[in-house]
Amino acid sequence: MLHAGACDFCSKQGWLGFYLCDDHETIVLLCVECETVYLSPEDRDRGSRARVSDTLPYIVEPINVPIVGGRDATSIEVTARGWGARIEGDTGST
Ligand SMILES: [Zn+2]
């Protein structure tokens, strides 16, 4: 999983992964520990978390796109989104 560094919201317990949502178009930053979602690295910089529904399939409410059904984004996808410079590391395939 490619990530943009540690999550600030859960005191850096988890990585903020680049996640491709169910529409296979939207990429968000998703914390693997506390499930914080940011719509962009800029929102992360501002500490502006996106609201996500409490139940499956975990709709990212501002954009009405489900998280469940997606997968980790690839470096090609993150770069195409213009966020290549925001990739800080890769946790591997787990
Ligand atoms: Zn977190």
What are the tens digits of pLDDT across the range 12-57?
Answer: 999 999 999 999 999 999 998 999 999 999 999 999 999 999 999 9
Q: Is pLDDT at 58 greater than 80 in this prediction?
A: yes
Q: Determine the distance separating the centroid of ligand 1 and the alpha carbon of 18, expressed in angstroms.
A: 13
40 touches 52 (CB < 8 A)? no
Q: How crowded is the C-beta side of 93, counted as CA atoms within 13 Å?
A: 0
At 92 the pLDDT is 84
Across the chain, mean pLDDT equals: 96
Q: Determine the distance separating the centroid of ligand 1 and the alpha carbon of 22, expressed in angstroms.
A: 21
Does the pTM of the predicted model rise above 0.85? Answer: yes
Q: Determine the distance separating the centroid of ligand 1 and the alpha carbon of 37, expressed in angstroms.
A: 9
Q: What percent of the chain has pLDDT over 90?
A: 96
Who contacts 41 (Cβ-Cβ below 8 Å, separation ≥6)?
4, 29, 83, 86
Cis peptide before 41 (omega within 30 of 0): no
Q: Is pLDDT at 93 greater than 80 in this prediction?
A: no
